[in-house]
Structure 1
Amino acid sequence: MPLQDLPCLSLQGSMLSQARKINKRKPRGCLSEGLDMECTPTELIQQWSPLHKHQRLTSKGKENTGNQFVLARRSRRKRESTSSISWDHLPDELLLRILFYIPLQDLLRMSTVCMRWHRLAFDESLWHSVDLEGLTHVGPALQQVLKTGVRMLRCPRSFVEELLFTGTGPLQIVVMDLSSSIIPTSSLESIICQCRQLEYLSLEGLQLSDNVISSLSKNPNLLQLNLSGCSGLSAPALADMLQSCTSIEQLNIAWCDFSNDHVKSVVANVSASVTHLNISGYRENLTLDDVKVLVTRCPNIQTLDLSDSSLLMADSFPVLKQLKALLHLSLSRCYHIHLAALTGLDKTFPTLSLLDVFGIVTGSHLSSLKKEMPRVSINSRPFSSVARPTPASRPIGCFMWNRKCRLRFKL
């Protein structure tokens, strides 16, 4: 029969079966001889011919015994080279410079990335100044901060639970503000007893002890000390501390739980280099004799606050006249000083520029007094700024003794 008259299915089936028989007898290398015969259909050739893209180097079955066995493996793609530099390739100095501009919360998160970043995140250079104002349960955080070698620590109005800090060496704190915080005396002792480089310190409103005061005497470079409103310290311990800290320039010791012995210890042992002194709030414990001792011992006083001293009268002005550099005098609520004694006070103190007489002069008498002494600013400073870390003239939380903390915890 002619080839075109054969059924397509039977033809394909017979040709496939014939091809399998030939394949069993001959190797595939001889397959081209059968496919080149003129009786081979074109469609069968297209179906039988393997695609060139997927040709394999090996064959299966018995035919592989006479040929060399080869395993082919697709080569991996090479990673495209990039021009960027990995963080792992940056030196520590450059990473520390980058971390210097990161806020406190983000710096703590980055410390959990890996061991290297944890080491860099707690590097001493990044923790130079820290602000933990207003935090509750700040004990663990404060203990970790103290271990970083912090030099400026601001932690006012905070709640510190029991904290027993035991470091390997003395702390490097130079400036510290713990004003109005709730902190156990034992925790405060564990911190202060390891400080040797303090220059600016505020413990306003805290419960102290003789151990705290004795530890302060080991800081000879102390320049400004704020102990206003403190309690729990004895007169002998206070005298020893003032004798050791001879570099104090500003001392605020107002409204403490003091007796007459405490006041006499202050005026008799305060450093002669003091230029700003607040010793207000002692009512009947501060006498004219104490003022005489103070003026003789500290002739360079520029700011003196004797407010709420009910025993002082106008006879104290000739004594205070010996202070040739006096710029600011506070006599608020010294009710035994009459208005007539204040008239002409600018002539008694030629260098005087600020005068506080709250509670003594009010209303129209204040206006007339201002007219009589136009050179002197009267009742312009309702709050004392002596040794205070944040004066009322600056926003709270921005500066501490004109220094700004870099790492600040924001509530």
Structure 2
Amino acid sequence: MSNEGPLQEMPCMAQSLMGSMLSHSHRSGARKKRGYLEDMLDTENTPSDLVYQSSPRHKMPCVAHLPRGKENERQFVLARRSRRAKESISGLSWDQLPDELLLRIFFCLPLRDLLRAPSVCKRWHRLLSDQSLWHSLDLEGATLVGTAFERVMATGVRRLRCPRAFIGNMEFVRASPSQVFQMDLTNCTVATLTLESILEHCKMLQHLSLEGLQLSDRIIHHLSQNPDMVHLNLRGCSGFSPDPLGQMLKSFSRMEQLNISWCEFNTQHVKAVVMNLQPSVTHLNVSGYRQNLTLEDLKELVAGCPNIVTLDVSDSVYLTTDCIPTLAQLRSLAHLSLSRCYQIHTAALVDFSEKFPSLRRLDVFGLVSEGHESSLRKEMSHISINSSPISTVARPTPPYSDEPVMWNRRCRLRFDIEP
């Protein structure tokens, strides 16, 4: 058998042996050199399988310490414990929970956590877009700039409360109609064009408050596209004409409560109101029109809305004692406010118990002195005198209330300003 075969098959081993020979010192004796040569010759004459068996075995390096290469990465993946086995040890994971249970958990989260949660994973992002989570939202005092308000509406919110909020200039470009049916924008900071863009997409409104806002004829037209309107608060609004106002009121066949007091009205505005109110109106506030509301207007109002329960005509200085027989035609009248109607004599109030059998509250601030007020309370013990200094007609939140409610209901998600 030839001895050259094994060396040719293991060139690395041959090179290592040659290197070890050259590295020894020249001071070694001839005998020592001769011993090395003999060992070398013995090794060369040894079959290759014996050399392999006699050489020390190399320890396989730990997979974790291998350099990062494609081959090593495959080894690492093969060495990992399967996810199923890992989860079976650690217990139930979030991935195993059904969508219905996750939605129930998300339903208990506050607003700030609910806004952060979509960044966890794609599944959470999808589930957190469910409309059931955003049914009612309270953003009182919030700042909604850019497209923030549009994104809020895109959640499918049905009840939106954001009084005194700041809504920056934006163009509301939602293609589909909004689903909101209760909205409170009382005293918001919002441009008229922005408000037009928002209300253009609202067709399902039933309860709306725009108190203190600058409106336009286009906004009034958009409001008339909501035939199911029940409560409307336009107290202190301005910027719209009598004709669009009359057309809007004529379209509200289900209207129950209307607060249209202290607007920038002239005589034509007042006539547009009293001539176009629907018989369904039961609570009405038309106070603050001083010389613009006359007895003839009041007669028109009573004839068109015979079922009124609450009526506020305060600060109408043209109303005199002659208006009392007209008001007495309202057989369901339970709350009447004549505050600061200075031409109504105090003596005419004495027999109100007989003329208004259903009356339970009477506000006559500025008409009677304290002494006369106490005598009225004695004579009309079943009527509460001057118990309502601020009207609650169509207002979403009762005056002096600390509860953040909107038409007697709280919103589930509430924006809290951080200190």
TM > 0.5 between the two?
A: yes
CA offset digits 1:194-224 (Å, max 9, x no partner): 1111000000000000111111111110000
Counterparts in 2 of 1:157 and 1:71: CA distance versus 1, 3 Å: closer
TM-score (norm 2): 0.81
CA shift, 1:327, in A, is: 0.1
| Aligned equivalent of 1:405 | 411
C-alpha distance in structure 2 between counterparts of 1:71 and 1:138, whole Å = 62
Unaligned runs of 5+ in 2: 1-34, 64-77
Does the 8 Å contact 2:43/2:51 carry over to 1? Answer: no
CA shift, 1:395, in A, is: 2.1
| Aligned equivalent of 2:309 | 302
CA shift, 1:65, in A, is: 10
CA offset digits 1:208-254 (Å, max 9, x no partner): 00111111111110000000100001000000001111110000000
C-alpha distance in structure 2 between counterparts of 1:27 and 1:220, whole Å = 108
CA RMSD of aligned residues (A): 3.0
Unaligned runs of 5+ in 1: 1-16, 29-58
| More deviation, 278-287/338-347 | 338-347
| Aligned equivalent of 1:63 | 52
Q: Tell me if 1:352 matches 2:352.
A: no
Report the secondary structure of 1:110's partner residue.
Answer: helix
Amino acid corresponding to residue 307 of structure 2 in structure 1: N
TM-score (norm 1): 0.82
CA shift, 1:62, in A, is: 3.0
Does the 8 Å contact 1:27/1:63 carry over to 2? Answer: no
Amino acid corresponding to residue 367 of structure 1 in structure 2: S
C-alpha distance in structure 1 between counterparts of 2:179 and 2:304, whole Å = 32
Does the 8 Å contact 1:138/1:158 carry over to 2? Answer: no
Report the secondary structure of 1:329's partner residue.
Answer: strand
CA shift, 1:120, in A, is: 1.7
After TM superposition, list the pairs within 5 Å mapping 1:11-410 onto structure 2: 62-64=51-53, 76=79, 78=81, 81-82=88-89, 84-392=91-399, 394-397=401-404, 399-410=405-416
Amino acid corresponding to residue 215 of structure 1 in structure 2: H
CA shift, 1:270, in A, is: 0.7
Between the two proteins, what is the percent identity of the paired residues? 54
C-alpha distance in structure 1 between counterparts of 2:290 and 2:372, whole Å = 25
| More deviation, 266-275/358-367 | 358-367
CA shift, 1:344, in A, is: 1.5
Does the 8 Å contact 2:145/2:169 carry over to 1? Answer: no
C-alpha distance in structure 2 between counterparts of 1:405 and 1:138, whole Å = 22
CA shift, 1:122, in A, is: 2.4
C-alpha distance in structure 2 between counterparts of 1:286 and 1:362, whole Å = 25
C-alpha distance in structure 2 between counterparts of 1:27 and 1:324, whole Å = 129
C-alpha distance in structure 1 between counterparts of 2:190 and 2:49, whole Å = 84
CA offset digits 1:90-140 (Å, max 9, x no partner): 222221111011011001111111222122222211111111111234453
Does the 8 Å contact 1:208/1:231 carry over to 2? Answer: yes
Amino acid corresponding to residue 163 of structure 1 in structure 2: M
CA shift, 1:72, in A, is: 11
Report the secondary structure of 2:187's partner residue.
Answer: coil
CA offset digits 1:357-379 (Å, max 9, x no partner): 01111211111111111110000
Counterparts in 2 of 1:242 and 1:71: CA distance versus 1, 3 Å: same
| Aligned equivalent of 2:3 | none
Does the 8 Å contact 2:227/2:253 carry over to 1? Answer: yes
C-alpha distance in structure 2 between counterparts of 1:282 and 1:229, whole Å = 11
C-alpha distance in structure 1 between counterparts of 2:415 and 2:130, whole Å = 18
| Aligned equivalent of 1:8 | none
